[in-house]
């Protein structure tokens, strides 16, 4: 961002690429969206509530009150009738926008100081011959909370180390968290989406890792 805060991160984990959009904030690295090359993606409102969620089967668009505004299926997954996608455009903030046109045309655009960068995070993912997704990992509520608090504690330790390394300046406050902490936060958010837990608990866990 023009402020110097990190806006977009693209990392490779095994055979998968992950694109993470962070909010333009000084003290925290709040995740506003994540896109994965396996077809799963999620965008969040500024308060951390889910905005758009996509899988290899389709997606849904949620209102700020949590109500489902729109739902669709990708057309290549079944020969029968399906709910088509009407193009979607949202602004995560004044610099980052997301345009969803098709499964292989999901664009993340960044505009600042008269210059633009655009990433196509869409992908063509086919279901297996059985037509089923592999079952996601399931964790109990207390396990998810423990993982979230573990990441939060590691974030605080990292901030303390920065304070000790730069005791006489505010430079430590501008440092981004280590990549492994960002990756762990993303994994916990993924597990929350797959777990059968309440929306209230899911929101609490997001608030913990994004604090």
Q: pLDDT, tens digit, for every residue of 84-115?
A: 678 999 999 999 999 999 888 999 999 998 88
Does 158 fall in a domain? Answer: yes
If asked whether residues 11 and 72 sit together in one domain, one would say yes
- b vs e for 134-171, b when ≥16 Cβ sit within 10 Å of the residue's Cβ? eeeeebeeeebbebbeebbebbeebeeebeeeeeeeee
If asked whether residues 13 and 97 sit together in one domain, one would say yes
If asked whether residues 33 and 99 sit together in one domain, one would say yes
Neighbours of 94 (CB within 10 A): 10
Q: What percent of the chain has pLDDT over 90?
A: 20
Query: Is the model's pLDDT at 192 over the cut of 70?
Result: yes
Q: How far apart are CA 196 and CA 139, in angstroms?
A: 9
Lowest mean pLDDT among 68-77, 86-95, 170-179: 170-179
Q: Which domain holds residue 185?
A: 141-210
CA 189 to chain CA centroid, nearest Å: 8
Count: domains in the chain: 2
pLDDT tier at 76, thresholds 50, 70, 90: low
Q: What angle do CA 185, 191, 193 make, to 5 degrees?
A: 105
If asked whether residues 156 and 204 sit together in one domain, one would say yes
If asked whether residues 58 and 15 sit together in one domain, one would say yes
Residue 211 neighbours by CB under 8 Å, 6+ apart: 28, 152, 155
What is the C-alpha R_g of the chain? 18
If asked whether residues 111 and 177 sit together in one domain, one would say no
Does 178 fall in a domain? Answer: yes
């Amino acid at each position: 961002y023009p402020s110097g805060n990190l806006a977009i991160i693209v990392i490779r984990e095994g055979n998968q690429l992950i694109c993470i959009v962070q909010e333009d904030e000084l003290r925290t690295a709040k995740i506003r969206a994540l896109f994965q090359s396996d077809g799963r993606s999620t965008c969040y409102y500024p308060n951390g509530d889910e905005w758009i969620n996509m899988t290899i089967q389709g997606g849904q668009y949620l209102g700020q009150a949590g109500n489902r505004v729109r739902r669709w299926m990708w057309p290549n997954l079944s020969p029968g009738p399906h709910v088509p996608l009407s193009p979607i455009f949202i602004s995560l903030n004044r610099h980052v926008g997301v345009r969803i046109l098709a499964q292989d045309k999901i664009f993340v655009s960044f505009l600042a100081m008269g210059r633009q960068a655009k990433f196509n995070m869409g992908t063509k993912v086919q279901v297996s011959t059985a037509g089923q997704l592999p079952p996601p990992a399931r964790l109990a509520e207390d396990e998810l909370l423990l993982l979230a608090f573990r990441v939060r504690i590691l974030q605080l330790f990292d901030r303390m180390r920065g304070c000790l390394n730069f005791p006489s300046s505010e430079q430590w406050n501008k440092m981004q968290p280590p990549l492994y902490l960002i990756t762990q936060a993303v994994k916990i958010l993924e597990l929350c989406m797959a777990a059968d837990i309440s929306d209230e608990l899911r929101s609490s866990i997001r608030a913990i890792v994004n604090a």
